[in-house]
Amino acid sequence: MPTFKRVLSTIAIILALYLVNAFMSKEGLFGFGFGAYPTDVLMTLTINIILAVSLNLITGFTGQFSIGHAGFMAIGAYASAYLVVYHAQFWERDLAAVVGFTTAHALIFMIAIAFGSLVAAFAGLLVGIPSLRLRGDYLAIVTLGFAEIIRIVILNIDKVGGATGFSVPSYSNFIWVGGFAIISIVIVYNIVHSDIGRALVSIREDELAAEAMGINTTRYKVLAFVISSALAGLAGVLFGHYRSFLSTNDFQFIRSFEIIIMIVLGGMGSLTGAVLGAVVITIMPELLRQLPGDFSRYRLVVYSAMLIVIILTRPQGILGTREFSLSWLKRARKRPEGDQVVGGTGGVSIAEQGPPSAIDRKKEEENR
Amino acid sequence: MDTFVQQLINGLTVGAIYALIALGYTMVYGILRLINFAHGDIYMVGAFVGYFLAFQLGFATGPSLLGLSVVLVASMIAAALVGMAIERFAYRPLRKYARMTTLIAAIGVSLLIENLFVARLGAAPRAFPQLLSEKSYTLFGNAAISKSQILIFAVSVALMLLLQWVIFKTKVGTAMRAVSFNLNSAKLMGINTDFIISFTFALGSALAAAGGVLTAQYNPQIDPLMGILTGLKAFVAAVLGGIGNIPGAVLGGLLIGIAETFVVGYGQNVGIPSTFRDAVAFAILILVLLVRPSGLLGSTVQEKV
């Protein structure tokens, strides 16, 4: 993309974020506002998008099955909350005297975000180096175990509230959350479309072959895991400073499951699929609140039944490994008969177009 | 010493329940390479079927061994049917797809069962009727073993022996082993693999339901979400012992049960708060897997190129 176009689109995105944020504020814009409930859903959705996109890097593109994402989210959230509550709030007062309140506020939140993501990345490194030697389900259960241990350790730290929860100043608004969601997507997109991304996909397709081709598989796996953890930590920071209250109950393994469901439902190894999955999983239970009368009691029953139905009807995920792009629409207009070539921004589908986007079909056969 | 023996007995009681549930995880994994996340909820379903049966059949009024046996067997049969239905409708259509897909279906089924029970019965715990008189026997010193603990040991050992017999001495057991060795070859040898998989689910679910009813005798509080954490820890037990390995599941279950009880009993002395009870299973698992990546009794699979 030419630089001019890039600058233009950046400005457009920032403007859009400001606009949405203005609509979401209590006063609204030009007399219109979203109201508290849609605002809440939209914020949750955007944070979920960051989580899904980040998990997709390690699970969808690298093929390393991790169900411990909630743990890294918790680390990011609690690390930044600790920094803000015990240190940064006081810096903010001093800083506000020099550069004004708004700038000081933004600066402090930037520091908190950087700190939370870095701590989560470091935790990812500590967890990743030993556990990424394990394969498949063993890796899955170890990451799940680490996440639970992280949660229980946090639960026992009295300085961050322990079981009673931890009140955190509210910093996040849609400009931050939406902006970082876009930044996360761009980061993951750029990684996936770089030589690193090729290495990651090759590890997913066949780890032994990748190693034989001279790829340092451990290094790349750990790298992907660390980046993924950092982004999960980022989501945690945004989540904590949006909710302004942290409880370890928000980071139980059911949340890790939820993120996994998002990427499998959207299509593993598809960025747009992860976004779509996050949208479906966040919006679906909210829409089911509309169920009439007595049925609203069965909201979550219907939700889980729909989950099963979706996975039974689209086992490869809604998008499979393909990417949704506007060129689909263009191509559909030009060549109605369709075409197998994946367009400009197309997906990273190396080998498979068919349904079984098998992460471990091959290994499974070997294991038998 | 007395407290040690007492802790050991309590640990083995909890461990026996974990072992019963872990057997179902490990058998299903051995055959389908699927982590059946709904298995913990089958354990809960078993306990609830027992609860309702005890009231329906009029056994809830007082302790009776007959009532207990009827409730136990009936809830095992009911859970076996539920397990088979789940396999038939949620997992079988996905068998040719990536395992991740089936895993999501399993999580979906698990959520469905939990939410259905919460919606129908409410999330509040219910008191399971005592079908066994409350009595303790002093072993030696001050260590005591209660009647319900004896029941748990007796029933779980009997069920494990029965399972061992089914798997190693019967035709269907031989077929199960063949299917877990290689599903496609087993099919070529004329084994009705669909039936065998169904049978495995039935067997595992029945064991989990037995675990549910037995737990309810030992600790008579049942609620629709009781299967989540217990199921997860039982799965950890299966992985710890070497997933797919039946003695491994029993060993892992007992180990985790003992470790948990000891953390609660002795943790304070060394500065570990009792809230770490739920973390200790995972900690042991991580340590063991880092040294032995295929679990305690699991066999290492040579990777073919």
Distance between start and end Cα atoms, chain A: 49
E-assigned strands of B12-98? none
Domains contained in chain A, CATH given: 8-367 (1.10.3470)
Handedness of CA A172, A173, A179, A181 (dihedral sign): positive
* Structural tokens at position B59: 């056994």
Q: Is the distance from CB of A137 to CB of B281 less than 8 angstroms?
A: no
What angle in degrees, to the nearest 10, is found between the helix axes of B99-121 and A253-266? 130
- Tell me the CB-side half-sphere exposure of residue A165, using CA atoms within 13 A: 10
Phi, psi of A246 (to 5 degrees): -110, 135
What are the residue boundaries of the structural domains of chain B, listed by start?
20-225
Secondary structure string (H, E, C) spanning B210-257: HHHHHHHHHCCEECCCHHHHHHHHHHHHHHHHCCCCHHHHHHHHHHHH
| Residue A29 pLDDT > 70 | no
Mark which residues 48-77 of A lie under 8 Å from B by CB.
65
Q: Which residue has the higher pLDDT, A182 or A161?
A: A182
Q: Is the distance from CB of A52 to CB of A266 less than 8 angstroms?
A: yes
Closest CA to B45 of B105, B106, B116: B116
* pLDDT recorded at residue A32: 66
Angstrom distance (rounded) from CA B6 to CA B274: 17
Rounded to a whole number of angstroms, the distance from the CA of B98 to the nearest CA of chain A is 5
Token pair 């933004």 is found at: A106
Of A293-307, A324-338, B224-238, where does mean pLDDT reach its minimum?
A: A324-338
Q: Is the distance from CB of A65 to CB of A141 less than 8 angstroms?
A: no
Q: Which residue has the higher pLDDT, A56 or B290?
A: A56
Q: Do A156 and B275 touch (CB under 8 A)?
A: yes
Give residues with Cβ within 8 angstroms of A234, minimum separation 6.
Answer: A50, A54, A76, A113, A116, A117, A120, A180, A184
* Structural tokens at position A60: 């969808």
Rounded to a whole number of angstroms, the distance from the CA of A313 to the nearest CA of chain B is 9
pTM: 0.87
| Residue A367 pLDDT > 60 | no
Closest CA to A325 of A253, A256, A271: A271
Q: Is the distance from CB of B129 to CB of B54 less than 8 angstroms?
A: yes
Sequence letter at residue B291 = V
Length of chain B: 305
Rounded to a whole number of angstroms, the distance from the CA of B62 to the nearest CA of chain A is 35
- DSSP lists the bridge partners of residue B146 as B136
Distances (CA, A) of B164 to A6, A191, A271, B46, B174: 67, 51, 47, 22, 11
Q: Is the distance from CB of B209 to CB of B265 less than 8 angstroms?
A: no
Q: What is the pLDDT of residues B41-50, one digit of tens each?
A: 999 999 999 9
With beta carbons under 8 A apart, name residues in chain A contacting B107. 257, 260-261, 307
- DSSP lists the bridge partners of residue B221 as B127
Angstrom distance (rounded) from CA B123 to CA A191: 45
| Residue A355 pLDDT > 60 | no
A148 contact B CB<8A: yes
* Structural tokens at position A201: 């996909």
Angstrom distance (rounded) from CA B231 to CA B11: 17
Q: Is the distance from CB of A358 to CB of A268 less than 8 angstroms?
A: no
Q: Is the distance from CB of B163 to CB of B23 less than 8 angstroms?
A: yes
Q: Do A308 and B93 touch (CB under 8 A)?
A: no
Closest CA to A24 of A33, A16, A13, A32: A33
Distances (CA, A) of B234 to B22, B197, B211, B228, B277: 5, 21, 11, 10, 14
Mean pLDDT across the stretch A67-73?
93
Coil vs helix vs strand at A344? coil
Q: Per-residue confidence of chain B (305 residues) as pLDDT tens digits?
A: 678 888 899 999 999 999 999 999 999 998 888 889 999 999 999 999 999 999 888 887 778 888 889 999 999 999 999 999 999 999 999 888 888 888 889 999 999 999 999 999 988 999 988 888 778 888 777 788 888 899 999 999 999 999 999 999 999 999 999 998 888 999 999 999 999 999 999 999 999 999 999 999 888 889 999 999 999 999 999 989 988 888 999 999 999 999 999 998 888 777 777 778 888 989 999 998 888 888 888 776 555 55
With beta carbons under 8 A apart, name residues in chain B contacting A217. none
Token pair 């005798």 is found at: B217
Angstrom distance (rounded) from CA A268 to CA B259: 38
Phi, psi of B138 (to 5 degrees): -80, 130
* Selected residue of A62, A213, A316, A368 to mutate for chain B interface (largest B Cβ count, 10 A): A368
* pLDDT recorded at residue A227: 96
Helix (H) or strand (E) holding B19: helix B2-32
With beta carbons under 8 A apart, name residues in chain B contacting A312. 90, 93-94, 105
- Tell me the Cα Rg of chain A: 21
Coil vs helix vs strand at A321? coil
Angstrom distance (rounded) from CA B253 to CA A303: 33
Closest CA to B44 of B123, B104, B129, B106: B123
Give residues with Cβ within 8 angstroms of A287, minimum separation 6.
Answer: none
At A314, is the pLDDT very low, low, confident or very high (cuts 50, 70, 90)? confident
Closest CA to A213 of A201, A222, A224: A201
Q: What is the pLDDT of residues A89-143, one digit of tens each?
A: 778 778 888 888 888 888 889 999 999 999 999 999 999 998 888 877 888 889 9
Mark which residues 103-132 of A lie under 8 Å from B by CB.
130-131
- How many whole angstroms from its chain centre is CA A261? 12
Give residues with Cβ within 8 angstroms of A88, minimum separation 6.
Answer: A108, A111, A112
* pLDDT recorded at residue A345: 40
- DSSP lists the bridge partners of residue B138 as B144
A253 contact B CB<8A: yes
* Selected residue of A58, A149, A206, A360 to mutate for chain B interface (largest B Cβ count, 10 A): A149
Angstrom distance (rounded) from CA A191 to CA A168: 33
* pLDDT recorded at residue A96: 80
Looking at every residue in chain A, the average pLDDT score rounds to 83
Mean pLDDT across the stretch A208-236?
94
Coil vs helix vs strand at B296? coil
Phi, psi of A214 (to 5 degrees): 90, 15
Other Cβ atoms closer than 10 A to A250: 18
Rounded to a whole number of angstroms, the distance from the CA of B169 to the nearest CA of chain A is 22
Angstrom distance (rounded) from CA B182 to CA B35: 18
DSSP state for residue B189 in the 8-state scheme: T
Angstrom distance (rounded) from CA B214 to CA A91: 58
How many helices (DSSP H) and strands (DSSP E) are in chain A? 15, 2
* pLDDT recorded at residue A354: 41
Q: What angle do CA B187, B191, B192 make, to 5 degrees?
A: 95
Closest CA to A65 of A364, A368, A346, A366: A364
